[in-house]
Amino acid sequence: MTLQHIILLAVVQGITEFLPISSSGHLVLTPAITGAADQGLLLDVSVHVGTLLAVLIYFWRDVLAMIVGFFRLFTGRMTPGARMALHIIVATIPVVAVGYYLKQSGIEEQMRSVEIIAWTTLVFGIILWFADKVGMTINRIEHMGWAGSIFIGLAQVIALIPGVSRSGITMTAARLMSYERSDAAQFSMLMSIPVIMGAGLLAGLDLHKAGNMELNREVLLAIVFSFFTALITIAVLMSWLKRASFTPFAIYRIILGIALLVWVYGYDTAPLGTLF
């Protein structure tokens, strides 16, 4: 794999992981558009490590409060950090259970097609736009009840389908429950921490079994570029959502989804890259 392709994959992952436009869908589309070989599991794990480090650093105060609060639960104290940690745990359980089943059954790989990504990109882009338009902005994270974290957690399960977008569907669910846009994004990103850790652990075990755990230059470059790209993306997104809406992301999804559908059903004999 060339240096340019590694950097491209890392930047794509860093930008799309926390924007509501589907990182998994873009990682599947990138080889299809560029004509390069699939990046493989090792590079997939590497770019996810980079984005995980980015969200941990950006939200380090929240992460620290959740860790400290969680351990204080054993002393009988319920702090705001402990409550947030419990909400994250509750919201994560459904996707862990369903994701593990899909991985073991082999269904996960069968869903990685451009056609599925095209439809999910379009449909859930429209749903994101609708939720953002009808949802009020009256709730904050500290107002979240158990029904809220369960609802957002169940919505996250849908993101196991490529193209749906984990961040997109969780932000959509939060907006339907009238959470402020920046709070919806913050909770979504905090939810990503155990999800990325869990997925990375499973992928790491697969690599270990295959005897492919070499820490080489490609891995380090992928981690570094995805980290810095994700960190910048998170900062820009949080700043944007304090004064604007999700509309640009919804429009992007709708345009991309339509373009992919045109290729799938009209020009499927031509390289995907000819559309872009």
End-to-end CA distance of the chain: 22
Looking at residue 267, what is its pLDDT? 64
How sure is the predictor about 85, in pLDDT bands with cuts at 50, 70 and 90?
very high
211 contacts 38 by C-beta, under 8 angstroms: no
Task: Centre a 10 Å sphere on the Cβ of residue 49 and count the other Cβ atoms it contains.
Answer: 19
Does residue 187 carry a pLDDT above 80? yes
Strand partners, 162: none
Looking at residue 109, what is its pLDDT? 66
Q: Please state the pTM of the whole predicted model.
A: 0.91
Does residue 220 carry a pLDDT above 90? no
pLDDT in tens, 137-168: 999 999 899 999 999 999 999 999 989 999 99
Residue 76 backbone class (left: φ over 0; alpha: ψ -120 to 50; beta: rest) = left
Tokens 């992981």 label which residue?
17
> Can you tell me the mean pLDDT for 218-236?
94
Question: Which stretch, 41-55, 184-198, 253-267, has highest mean pLDDT?
Answer: 184-198
Residues 6+ apart with CB under 8 A from 51: 13, 14, 17, 18, 23, 192, 196, 226, 227, 230
pLDDT in tens, 2-59: 788 888 989 999 999 999 998 878 877 777 776 665 666 667 788 889 999 999 999 9
Least confident of 51-55, 109-113, 221-225: 109-113
Q: What angle do CA 21, 26, 29 make, to 5 degrees?
A: 140
Looking at residue 276, what is its pLDDT? 52
Average model confidence (pLDDT) across the chain? 88
Helix spans in 177-267 (H): 181-210, 217-241, 247-266
| pLDDT top residue among 126 and 5 | 126
